[in-house]
Chain A
Amino acid sequence: MSPLKDVAQYVRSKAAGPFWVTVDIFCGDAETFERVRKAPSLSGSAVAALYGVSNNAVKVFEVPTLNVVKISFPRREPQGSAHDADSHAGQFFVPLLDAQIP
């Protein structure tokens, strides 16, 4: 097991409109992509628990041509609402860096 930060090439997050966040995990090569896409720590339910959103709201996309796993979910606090601390969702990827990848 290794944390995602030691496995992936680059991880980023960004708002996709005021109500959604999208996280792109660039794996770098096909072998790493296989490891990352199968990781239970990046399943829809694991991501939902991490970000405090409902299970069925999380969409996980596999983009094999880019060796990318893309995760999108509605944000718990809409952009700019009273308790939102990250308008652009630019730092949302950080807790995923510790996700354990088999």
Chain B
Amino acid sequence: MDAGSTDSGPYYLGAGVSKMTRKAVKRDLRQLMIGRAKLQVPLLVGSCGTSGTDAGVDWMAEICAEIAAEESQTVKVALLYSEQSPSVLSDYLRKGAISPLSPADPLTLERLQSCDHVVALMGYEPYAAAIEAGADIVLGGRTTDTAVIAAVPLMRGLPVGPTWHAAKTAECGGLCTTRSRQGGVLLTIHAEGFDVEPLDADNSCTPWSVSAHMLYENSDPFELREPGVILDAREAVYTPLDARTVRVTGSTHRLMPYTMKLEGAGAAGFRTMVFSAIADPKILANLDRFLDNLRSYLNGSIASVLGYQADKYDLDIRAYGANALAQPGASPPVSTPAEVGLMTLVTAPSQEVADEIAKFCNPILLHFPLDPDDPMPSFAFPFSPAEAQLGQFYEFRLQHVVAIDDPLELVRFADFTVDRGERHVAA
């Protein structure tokens, strides 16, 4: 089970908090723990707490211990920590063991130290080690989506290429089926390859639905890079076994020097937002000119009244409904929108300054005319107060890998047992 992602942006890693609410995570983990106890198989959870920080693992461990007590389960839980301190990584940087992935530049010590949290993506090996040491449940920090699925088959000696391909196929549950919202899939990995079938009797896997999943969230349609190995699905053959099951053969792999990908996020100021809207057709027919005038008036006034030069803050006015999502080379829209929402986004070194600039923009956003001699307009503000604090703002700062000799050398292990509702840490 993969519990994390970078998809929702740098905040969760930077702040070290979960994107999902505790109650929802507890509901899901309870179902998995009840299932595990019935089947007596290991339960592996990767990337705990969304970003897989140490705090995310501890958060999940606490939820797991609560459930075990509530369900009267006796379980041995292993914890795998893969958050990295800048001081440990700086030794690897000095040795030349950290390399950039496209499009990043080589890492500098300054950039490394600017991260509030850094995690290294684990492969399957730490999970295999924890299971071999007798864990019933393994709660891991940041891990590749596929490694949690690949761990048991690989430790049992099943073929490497088919195992990683099977894991990639099932990483998003039902997305490799024809009805992607209808539950997960069952993988059977064997000497010839692997078979995949949906859990729901009314759902099906087809050669097309399974092979197309190699494209998903992967920049390369044929290869998938994992710690120490590349899956190559170029020669894979997808054969229907029946109307709902597909057999995949011919997946290969290449062993690579062992690396762990690093993810890091660091604070980059604070943000405050104002949202206002315009429906006046005269303004909307001249929106580009209106926005250019508005931006230059705001920047000038922020300097003259508040004393902040443009390099001290960022003012981003986005016209939702007109071109907020436009790409730089796309042709401009031909029709005039009926309404436009203006998101005015202020980023500044402190929350106080971000709030101050946003409050200063407020009356101007309310009354700014298209032409100086126009009667004073009033635009639509949906909120009081008009400013919404967005809090601390983070950036992703790492797109690098660290080369290591032993897959376990940057992973720290801990474990505890829950027995008759009591949590015991091993001596």
Listed in ascending order, the chain A residues whose CB lies under 8 Å from chain B are: 14-20, 22, 24, 26, 49-52, 57, 59, 61, 63, 65-66, 68, 70, 72, 74, 76, 78-83, 85-88, 91-92, 94-95, 98
- Whether the pair B10, A80 counts as a contact (CB closer than 8 A) is yes
Say if the beta carbon of B293 comes within 8 Å of chain A. Answer: no
* 10 residue pairs from A and B, CB less than 8 Å apart: A18-B6, A19-B399, A65-B211, A79-B396, A82-B316, A85-B318, A85-B325, A88-B8, A91-B325, A95-B326
1/0 per residue, CB under 8 A from A, across B393-419: the answer is: 111100100000000000000000000
**Binary contact track B33-55/A, C-beta < 8 Å → 1, others 0:** 00000000000000000000000
| Bound complex: CA A24 to CA B330 (Å) | 19
Q: How many A-B residue pairs have CB under 8 A?
A: 105
Instruction: Name B's A-contacting residues (CB within 8 A).
Output: 6-11, 102-104, 208, 211-212, 215-222, 263, 268, 314, 316, 318, 324-331, 345, 347, 393-396, 399
In the complex, what residues of B have CB within 8 A of residue A57's CB?
102-103
**How far, in Å, is A36 (CB) from chain B's closest CB?**
15
A95: shortest Cβ distance to chain B, in Å?
Answer: 4
In the complex, chain A residues whose CB is within 8 Å of the CB of B211: 65-66
A80 touching B221, Cβ below 8 Å: no
- A51 to B328, Cβ gap below 8 A? yes
**A18-B396, A61-B220, A80-B396 as given contacts; A88 in contact with B324, CB under 8 Å:** no
Contact in complex: B7, A88 (CB < 8 Å): yes
- Given A80-B10, A82-B316, A87-B9, 12 more A-B residue pairs with CB atoms under 8 Å apart are A17-B6, A20-B219, A52-B328, A59-B219, A68-B212, A68-B221, A72-B219, A79-B6, A79-B10, A82-B268, A86-B325, A92-B327
Nearest chain B residue, comparing its CB with the CB of A95: B330
Q: Which of B9, B103, B208 interacts with A19 by CB under 8 Å?
A: B103
Tell me the minimal C-beta distance from B283 to chain A in angstroms: 22
Residues of B within 8 A of A51 (CB): 327-329
Bound: A20/B9 CA distance, A = 13
Inter-chain CA distance A18–B12, complex, in Å, is: 13
With A76-B328, A80-B9, A86-B325: A66-B396 Cβ-Cβ less than 8 Å: no
* Contact present for A85 and B7 (CB under 8 Å): no
Of B219, B220, B324, which is in contact with the most chain A CB atoms at under 10 Å from its CB? Answer: B219
B215 touches A70 (CB 8 A): yes
Decide if B7 touches A81 in the complex (CB within 8 Å): no
Q: Is A78 a contact of B396 with CB atoms below 8 Å?
A: yes
CB B75 to nearest CB in A, in angstroms, measures 34
Residues of A close to B8: CB separation below 8 A: 87-88
Q: Compute how far the CA of A63 lies from the CA of B215 in the bound complex, rounded to whole angstroms.
A: 10
Question: A85–B324 contact, CB under 8 A?
Answer: yes
A72 touches B396 (CB 8 A): no
Q: In the complex the two chains form, is A74's CB within 8 Å of B7's CB? A: no
**Could you tell me the distance between the alpha carbons of A82 and B347 in the complex, rounded to whole angstroms?**
8
Q: Is A82 a contact of B314 with CB atoms below 8 Å?
A: yes
Alpha-carbon separation in the docked complex, A88 to B19 (Å): 15
Shortest beta-carbon distance from B394 to chain A in Å: 7
Query: Which chain B positions have C-beta within 8 A of A66?
Result: 208, 211-212, 215
Q: Residues of B contacting A92 with CB < 8 Å?
A: 327
Please indicate the chain B residues that have their CB under 8 angstroms from the CB of A50 in the complex: 327-330
Q: Which residue of B lies closest to A52 (CB)?
A: B328
Residue of A at shortest CB range from B261? A17
Name the contact of A80 in the complex, choosing from B11, B216, B330 (C-beta under 8 A).
B11
Contacts of A80 in B (CB 8 A): 9-11, 394-396
Instruction: Chain B residues near A98: list those with CB within 8 A.
Output: 330-331
Contact present for B327 and A15 (CB under 8 Å):
no
How far does the Cβ of B216 sit from chain A's closest Cβ, in whole Å?
7
Distance from B310 Cβ to chain A, minimum over Cβ atoms (Å): 13
Residues of B with C-beta under 8 A to A61: 220-222
Query: Which one of A24, A52, A65, A74 lies within 8 Å of B327 (CB-CB)?
Result: A52
| Docked CA distance A61–B325 (Å) | 25
- The complex places the Cα of A5 from the Cα of B393 at a distance, in Å, of 37
Q: Is the CB of B327 within 8 A of A68?
A: no
Query: Do B316 and A94 touch (CB < 8 A)?
Result: no
Alpha-carbon gap, A82 to B221, bound state (A): 30
A19 proximity list for chain B (CB < 8 A): 103-104, 396, 399
Given A79-B396, A83-B316, CB of A74 within 8 Å of CB of B103: yes
Tell me whether B325 and A22 are in contact (CB under 8 A): no
